[in-house]
Structure 1
Amino acid sequence: TACLLNLPECLFPWVFADAGILKVAPVRLVNGPSRCAGRVEVFLNQQWGTVCDDGWNITDAGVVCRQLGCGTALSAPGGARFGPGSDPIWLADVNCAGTEPVLSQCRARLLGVNNCNHGEDAGVVCSDAGISEVAQLRLVNGPSRCAGRLEVFHNQQWGTVCDNSWDLQDAGVVCRQLGCGTALSAPRGAHFGQGSDHIWLNNVNCTGTEVALSDCRARPWGENNCTHREDAGVECSEVAQIRLVNSWSRCAGRVEVLHNQQWGTVCDDIWDITNAEVVCRQLGCGPALTAPRGARFGQGSERIWLDDVNCTGTEATLSDCRARPWGDNNCDHGEDAGVLQGSIWQFK
């Protein structure tokens, strides 16, 4: 039944007593690491129940955090991120302005009216939860803190993420959350080795705009049909050391990058002047003159680290450019890429 405007008793029946006195519906966050993070539950009709994530956002979460005295909202995860409830779903289509002191003053559907299930239970993470969004993620078993197997901290235990639907958008959110730049790749199939603890997340589906992985949709914690052979990984655009070798100048030569504590070359597949410009900028060598291919500056003998490098030209470093995952190539050293900068009088 549609409510008439200007009838708050109809729009918000749960906040009025029979005598017409305003009530505040108690709110709690459950199944999280602290009282300031978890699944949102409200106490109505003498029973606790959940909130549907339809329309649920950071503004709504902010009201919950304020009501609980938990600071500001860090994220507003949906999809039963803190597990599905089992009692009534009291609220749906919550639409807070952000200025309300309590959730029961926000607009929403009539009490108990919804088309939701508990797989859509809304959650909140507040700033006073005693946890850091960044601290709840780590990349392990890789060459640096910005590359490796993805692990998340839940219920006081680290666990992995299943690679079902895992892609570059999801990895991009991880890199941004960890302060590791942009995502270079989203390796699947336990590329960085298999974990041994819980598989916490599955079917992660980020839009790419989220500030934290906990803002992305996924199955409830621990719900999956995966094995550790499907552990997801991430490689972020940390700044890799670079050099030009086997020539008369530090600004000309075969391109080599340092990865996993070892220097290696770059394959010349799609290597072009735009890529060379990024190398020159990173080395402080001015504009690039040419981007020699075919091992013009001699063949390397170590690993071929990068292939199919595809820079837009605006990147500050070569490791910011898109490319295949480190070491993934179909090349030989007869295809080593080079760079020649115009001011060749810059001698070593």
Structure 2
Amino acid sequence: MENLEVHSFLKCCTRMWKKLRTRYLEIMHEPAFQNEFQSLLRDYVGRPSPLYLAKRLSAMYNTPIYLKREDLNHTGAHKINNTIGQILLAQRLGKHRIIAETGAGQHGVATATVCALKGIECIVYMGEKDIERQAPNVARMKMLGAKVVPATSGSKTLKDATNEAIRDWINNPVDTHYIIGSVVGPHPYPDMVARFQSVISEEIRWQLKEKTGSELPTHVIACVGGGSNAAGTFYHFLDEGSVELIAVEAAGHGVNSGMSAATTQLGKPGVLHGSRSYVMQTEDGQVVEPHSISAGLDYPGIGPLHAHLFDSGRGTFLSATDEEAVKAAFLLTRLEGIIPALESAHALAALEQLQLNEKDTVVLCLSGRGDKDMGTYMKVMEEQTI
């Protein structure tokens, strides 16, 4: 580009970005927006999602354990809460092309779903490695009319898919809205995604009061990669000091194995994808490739909200290995008849690390269902007797 063209392009990018930053809260609070958003959550997504007392799991740990059943949402995960909100926002901003990144494929499916609902073009960037291990979700995206573009650089996973999506967005600022799937990225995404996902904790409070007489559990547990399901699950408990917020990261083959995604234990402050947070990086600032058996947690950073919870001590950060997550998944399946996503299985694995008693009340976000992970589960069953 000539200098004049570059200057004009950068002005256009800045103008489009400023429009999103300055208008997102105004649009989100408009009565017409909220009416459509709440209507779709109820009639299309199927909210409220149940708060289920897992009796056999509770008996095993000698404490009441409630599962927030985000796996029962349309598309099978919490991701649809955010994509419904962002597609409505994109329409009001005049965008007619949607891009997204995805790891486990659940956000890609949720984005493709709302684009099909609204008749808007959809392009989903996905790591080549994740395309292979999440084939059912790739097929769903394509069936919904989305174009799935493989990211072939780096580890060929979520980080690289996000890189490609950001490149697309920067080059198409006028007509394109980027539906980021987690509480990461440049402002206003960490805040905006957390607000759309906060419906999870909003429901938990009144549902728990109906069941127990109190809105406040003693423990709230959720898995964390970027951390959108955790942000939504924690949101309405952030100022409730009596509620312990427990975030569970992916330890992969072990925190110190060199194949892990436990960012708070391995990372340090840095900038990744437009936000300052904790990032797994080398001494000279190069991103360290993460590893997790769960594609949705295979990310070398966490959202800035979670970094603050870690720094301030408000959140308790644990980790679970691949092996521990798989074991927890099979345990839930055989105790409760619920097959969880591998991401959610990490949260379940943390129950082994807690000192719980009958006076506690635990709420755990079951962020997604395990249909997409059946290939991995089948491989485990073939390799060993479970």
Whichever structure has more helix as a proportion of its residues is 2
Larger-gyration structure (1/2)? 1
Whichever structure has more strand as a proportion of its residues is 1
| TM-score for both structures, normalised by structure 1 | 0.27
